[in-house]
Amino acid sequence: MLGAGATAAAAAAMAHDGASGVEQGALPGTESHPFYGEHQAGISTPPQDHLVFTSFDVTARTPVELQLVLAKWSAAMAELTSGDPVGKVEPARANAVPGDTGEADGMGPNGLTLTLGFGPSLFDGRFGLEPFKPAGFGPLPAMAGESLDPAMTGGDLCIQACANDPQVAYHAVRNLARMARTSVKTRWTVLGFGRASAGANQSTPRNLMGFKDGTRNITTGEDFAQHVWVGDEAGQPWMAGGSYLVARKIHMMIETWDEDPINDQQSIFGRSKQEGAPLSGTREHDVPDFHAAAAGGDAPAIPADSHIALAAHENNGGTKILRRGYNFTDGLDAVGRLDAGLMFLSFQRDPEQFVSLQRRLGASDRLNEYIRHVGSGVFAVPGGLPAAGSYYGKEFFTK
Amino acid sequence: MLGAGATAAAAAAMAHDGASGVEQGALPGTESHPFYGEHQAGISTPPQDHLVFTSFDVTARTPVELQLVLAKWSAAMAELTSGDPVGKVEPARANAVPGDTGEADGMGPNGLTLTLGFGPSLFDGRFGLEPFKPAGFGPLPAMAGESLDPAMTGGDLCIQACANDPQVAYHAVRNLARMARTSVKTRWTVLGFGRASAGANQSTPRNLMGFKDGTRNITTGEDFAQHVWVGDEAGQPWMAGGSYLVARKIHMMIETWDEDPINDQQSIFGRSKQEGAPLSGTREHDVPDFHAAAAGGDAPAIPADSHIALAAHENNGGTKILRRGYNFTDGLDAVGRLDAGLMFLSFQRDPEQFVSLQRRLGASDRLNEYIRHVGSGVFAVPGGLPAAGSYYGKEFFTK
């Protein structure tokens, strides 16, 4: 393995060298995930390095127009996630408008996944889809700690594009929006990063507060079956094998946080900053002991109002969600402060899993002093497509 | 080499696998560039995958305050480009505000370079620096094709942070801004991408118009010496081995461009879209022949008003500049269109090299219909620091 490591290091160095050969440079782009299957990709897929999340309003006036968008998108998603351009390349027709905008040409699939979701408003009656609305599906309730901007909230449709290259993810969403431009309008979009390059001492990525994020995430098939994948409880066959996506754009008060002493930061999270260990232990993956007392006292080592204590499944009747968030930065805000934070994305079998956790966090999480939820959406994510020729939402239009 | 390639492919696949070992995952982060040397890094350095460009206003009221910023920054830049956190880690002082914000902890240098520049306004007299202003250095003249937003123009200082991971680049600028917060204020910032993962058929990255960008860039030491590095002509010893950085935030009218037929797009650039070959040839690196006639006619194969014809050194008295730009996207603009384009960065021995080229392009480039320069800056980039203990601008304060 040492030999293999050294060879890979040399290859990696060559790939980053401007003079590198094409063979070496081509390696990172070739990873791909199957598009067809029981579940949509981009949920249990190990998180890629980059995110483009986009929510859309449907401006189509007829069900047929919406049907066409969903059919075209499904076919194009299969092409894009294979690393192919959208549509057939027809070099003979020089006078044609290009089918694909071209900026990801030759870059390979780069681990691209495209995950489609339907917002509650899609089922409001404009397209006759009331009978297909999953049981109990509606907008998230108002919650403490949020100050939502309507321009970054909701949407009839969403696409979560994730890839190991930002240009590949952006290209996919741009081309999907483009082919549907007469029927859908982009409502809000967030570019995320932060799953990039797990370093020597970092298997878990860090959020922009400097803490590891995602240490206790869902990983086992059993947990996915119990907490993430929808069965028949939605009352809609198209949701079998699907999930619910909650998106929260969380603004961080970076400058304020940066002035907080490190022991206070650690007691807010309930973990040490450098190692990421629960304050009851010494290593990142030590199981938190919420009953352990702090050294030299009776107070718990992990404060009861710390983030991990409030969010832990041990303290929430076993509730777990799959977190798949990304860091974002939008430059500066109107008064020159850093406009940055976490694009929180979670997948769960029932949106209520998120709501119950967030209600607890919003009521007493000490982190609330440093964060504000500014964007929000909830989407029903249909199960995967079985094969070419099928498309998302097909069941809606085949009465 | 086939064996090595296969091993590297396996390593790359493992590195992108969530279950990968730490050893494999650690490889990409370890690349580093020396901080001390004749020239600042980030100019002749092969372009990394990600950019954070930030311009600052100096709010300090005394030369000593400015001196302190430059000294602290120089020391911190050496730490950051080595992959170290800012300042000493002092775990014993649990009540201290952290010296480093922590989000790049354990990620390694990731090819980070930090390149510092001084804007013309720094020499305006507030700090007694008039005697140190390079000969002829001033703001760029107004030019055709620009519609500059003052909020994205100018600045007393700039930092170009480039790295193979966006979080590493962002972390560096965030921490430099943080340690100087009482003396400098961020004026504008642009996050760029687009140097990532050169794919199987793509050694040259593509811009968001889908065309390869940078095919004929400066690469030889001879060209750097003649066109990029400043000698003694600036009349300032601190500029020897330095350069001038021109930054232009170029907005692309993406939706309009996407409706243009491919042969028109190709005649605007003067290159084929897929291969990137000049229209007088068949391969990307064929030398453009501006006298060759198009097939079946007398018109030149490469239109005289195409982008490459206007910009070519053959048609500009030998003028060359080093381009080091990145694609950017800021989401949506106020009316819901894609807010995206090119963060053009060029280095040259004299800003006049850029001005003369841009005057020609602005006057007759057919690309102007699809782009608009919205941000701008010019910065004198001092030569490299010789060793630890030296700092940028030291000459200004040692009378």
Instruction: Please write the tens of the pLDDT for every residue from A92-139.
Output: 466 788 889 999 988 899 999 999 999 999 999 999 999 999 999 999
Contact A94 B19 (CB under 8 A): no
Contacts of B296 in chain A (CB under 8 A): none
With a cut of 70, say whether residue B7 has pLDDT above it: no
Q: Taking residues A168-178, what's their average pLDDT?
A: 95
Q: Give me the pLDDT at residue B297, please.
A: 85
**Out of B28, B89, B96, whose CB is closest to A197?**
B28
In A73-92, the residues whose Cβ lies within 8 Å of chain B are: 89, 91
CA-to-CA dists, residue A217 to A214, A220, A347, B373, angstroms:
5, 9, 11, 44
Question: For chain A, what is the total number of helices (H) and then of strands (E)?
Answer: 9, 9
Question: Residue B384's closest CA among B151, B5, B81?
Answer: B81
Task: Kindly state the average pLDDT of the residues B88-117.
Answer: 84
When pLDDT is cut at 50, 70 and 90, the band that residue B204 belongs to is confident
Tally Cβ neighbours within 10 Å of residue A89.
Answer: 15
pLDDT tens-digit readout, B126-147: 999 999 999 999 999 999 889 9
Establish how many alpha carbons lie within 13 A of residue B124's alpha carbon, considering only the half-sphere containing its beta carbon.
12
Determine the pLDDT at residue B23: 35
- Pairing label, strands A113-118, B157-163: unpaired
- Distance between CA atoms of residues B94 and B96, nearest Å: 6
Does A200 contact B259 at a Cβ distance shorter than 8 Å? no
Q: Answer whether A211 touches B (CB < 8 Å).
A: yes
B253-283 residue pLDDT tens: 998 999 999 999 999 999 999 999 999 999 9
d(C-alpha B390, C-alpha B177), whole Å: 20
Q: Which of A48, A42, A52, A51 is nearest to A28 (CA)?
A: A48
Residue of B13, B98, B208 with shortest CB distance to A103? B208
Give B 344-363 residues with CB within 8 A of chain A.
Answer: none
- Fill in the DSSP letter of residue B337: -
User: In degrees rounded to 5, what are phi and psi of residue A182?
Assistant: -85, -5
Query: What's the pLDDT tens digit per position in A51-61?
Result: 999 999 999 99
Contact B331 A189 (CB under 8 A): yes
pLDDT of residue B18: 33
Round to whole Å and give the CA distance between A242 and A229: 6
The SS3 assignment for B388 reads: coil
Confidence of residue B88 (pLDDT cuts 50, 70, 90): low
* Cα separation, A86 vs B262, whole angstroms: 15
pLDDT at B242: 98
Pairing relationship of beta strands B113-118 and B322-323 according to DSSP bridges? unpaired
User: What gap in Å lies between CA A142 and CA B111, rounded to an integer?
Assistant: 44
Is residue B91's pLDDT more than 60?
no
**Is the Cβ–Cβ distance between B327 and B192 less than 8 Å?**
yes
User: Which are the contacts of B97, defined by CB distance < 8 A and separation ≥ 6?
Assistant: A258, A259, A260, A261, A262
Q: How far apart are the first and last CA of chain B?
A: 58
Read off the pLDDT of each residue in B73-98 and give the average, rounded to a whole number. Answer: 83
Residue B151 has which token pair?
């909020």
Chain B residue nearest residue A203, CA to CA: B22
- Mean pLDDT over A156-184 rounds to 95
Find the closest chain B residue to A4 by CA distance: B7
Contact A275, A286 (CB under 8 A): no
More confident residue, A94 or A325: A325
Cβ neighbors of A243 (< 8 A, separation 6 or more) are: A39, A43, A228, A229, A230, A347, A348, A349, A381
pLDDT band at residue B196 using 50, 70 and 90 as cut-offs: very low
Helix ranges, B212-348 (H)? 221-223, 254-257, 262-269, 307-311
Q: Which residues of A touch B96 (CB under 8 A)?
A: 261-262
Cα gap B105→A205, rounded to integer Å: 10
Question: At A211, is the secondary structure helix, strand, or coil?
Answer: coil
What percent of chain A is modeled with pLDDT above 90? Answer: 77
Contact B211 A108 (CB under 8 A): no
Query: Contact at 8 Å (CB) between A11 and A27?
Result: yes
Mark residue B121 as left, alpha or beta (left: phi above 0; alpha: psi -120 to 50; beta: remaining): alpha
Give the nearest chain B residue to A30 (CA atoms).
B199
Question: End-to-end CA distance of chain A, in Å?
Answer: 58
Element (H, E) at B173: helix B166-179
Q: Collapsing DSSP states into helix, strand and coil, what is residue A118? A: strand
Higher pLDDT, A334 or B149: B149
* CB-based contact A24 B18, cutoff 8 Å: no
Q: Which two tokens stand for residue A85?
A: 């351009």
Considering only CB atoms, B261 lies closest to which of A17, A91, A95, namely: A95
pLDDT of residue B295: 86
Distance CA B114, CA B91 (A): 27
Which residue does chain B place closest to A273, by CA atoms?
B102
Chain A residues close to B267, C-beta within 8 Å: none
Tell the burial category of A305 from Cβ atoms under 10 Å away from its Cβ (0-12, 13-18, 19+).
middle
Q: Coil, helix or strand for A114?
A: strand
Contact: A164, B19; criterion CB under 8 Å: no
What is the identity of the amino acid at B326?
Answer: Y
Q: Once rounded to an integer, what is the mean pLDDT over residues B93-100?
A: 80
Helix segments in chain A, DSSP class H: 2-15, 22-25, 63-81, 166-179, 221-223, 254-257, 262-269, 307-311, 351-364
From the number of C-beta atoms within 10 Å of its C-beta (0-12, 13-18, 19+), residue A297 rates as exposed
Question: What does the pLDDT look like over A253-286, one tens digit per residue?
Answer: 998 999 999 999 999 999 999 999 999 999 999 9
Shortest Cα distance, chain A CAs vs residue B247, angstroms = 17
Interface touch A12/B20, C-beta < 8 Å: no
Residues in A closer than 8 angstroms to B275, CB to CB, are: none
Residue A37's region, left for phi above 0, alpha for psi from -120 to 50, else beta, is left
Q: Residue A278: helix, strand or coil by DSSP?
A: strand
Amino acid at B253: M
Give the dihedral sign, CA A57/A60/A61/A64: negative
* Interface with chain B: mutation pick from A167, A263, A322, A343, highest number of B CBs within 10 Å: A167
**Arithmetic mean of pLDDT over chain B:** 88
Residue ranges of E strands in chain A: 50-58, 113-118, 157-163, 184-193, 243-252, 322-323, 326-332, 338-348, 371-381
Beta strands at B184-193 and B50-58: parallel, antiparallel or unpaired: antiparallel
Contact B105 A201 (CB under 8 A): yes
Q: Residue A330: its chain B contacts at CB < 8 A?
A: 330-331
Mutation for A interface: B22, B23, B27, most A CBs within 10 A: B27
Mean pLDDT calculated for residue range A224-242: 96
**Alpha carbons A166 and B16: distance in angstroms, whole number:** 15
- Judge whether B375 and B325 are in contact, CB under 8 Å: no
Does B47 lie at the interface with A, CB-CB under 8 angstroms? yes
Whole-angstrom Cα distance, residue B171 to residue B177?
10
Nearest CA among B262, B195, B196, B323 for reference residue A102? B262
> Which one of B96, B190, B207 has the shortest CB-CB distance to A103?
B207
* Closest to A256 in 3D by CA, of B181, B188, B69, B79: B181
pLDDT attached to residue A194: 79
Query: Is residue B22 very low, low, confident or very high in pLDDT (cuts 50, 70, 90)?
Result: very low
Phi and psi, residue A61, nearest 5°: -105, -10
DSSP B183-226: TEEEEEEEEEE--S---TT-SS-B-TTS-B--TT---SHHHIII
* Average model confidence (pLDDT) across chain A: 88
> CB–CB of A258 and B97 under 8 A?
yes
Contacts of B97 in chain A (CB under 8 A): 258-262
For residue A18, what pLDDT is reported?
Answer: 33
Distance from the Cα of A398 to chain B's closest Cα (Å) equals 33
B32 touches A at CB < 8 Å:
no
pLDDT at A176 over 70: yes
Nearest residue on chain B to A327, judged by CA atoms?
A: B167
For position A97, what pLDDT does the model report?
A: 87
Distance CA B130, CA B142 (A): 23
H or E, element range at B172? helix B166-179
Task: Give strand pairing partners of A157.
Answer: A56, A118
> Does B111 contact chain A (CB < 8 Å)?
yes
